[in-house]
A = this chain, B = another copy of it.
């Protein structure tokens, strides 16, 4: 596990210009096309690169409001709660955590008013004892991976 510098450069290049294609990458990186192809195959079978799905902006879809909800679950109701939350489209992700809450989820909604509806739907389930919600105002650092990839590529040098 771990990536070397060439892997890192491939990922960063791909993150910056996703449409670029293997041939152009090999040109820019100064290596043979087969090498880039082999590296990419390996990164994907490694699981380092999960895929190339489209990044969809919920705001552009009509869901400009984002919030994080911390949930407290009744003992033993975990599995049921997960199944329940998985059925709510506005639940974008769900984690079980240590700490004050038992779960943490990311929600989106069409408006602040609509957020109320979403929260009602989320907590309107027996196993959920309490929920506390934090509405996102700004997003100074959008989800990113490049700095981490650069660090991983610089530090680890393979295994």
Q: Which of A47, A56, A82, A100 has the most CB of B within 10 A?
A: A56
CA distance A134 to B47 in the complex (A): 25
Please tell me if A76 contacts chain B, counting CB pairs below 8 Å.
Answer: no
Q: Interface size (A, Cβ < 8 Å)? A: 71
Please tell me if A75 contacts chain B, counting CB pairs below 8 Å.
Answer: no
State the Cβ distance, A34 to closest chain B Cβ, in Å.
19
**Please, which residues of chain B bring their CB within 8 A of the CB of A149?**
56, 61
CA distance A48 to B58 in the complex (A): 7
Please tell me if A141 contacts chain B, counting CB pairs below 8 Å.
Answer: yes
Say whether B49 contacts A94, CB under 8 Å.
no
CB contact between A68 and one of B66, B86, B97 (< 8 Å): that residue:
B97
Say whether B145 contacts A14, CB under 8 Å.
no
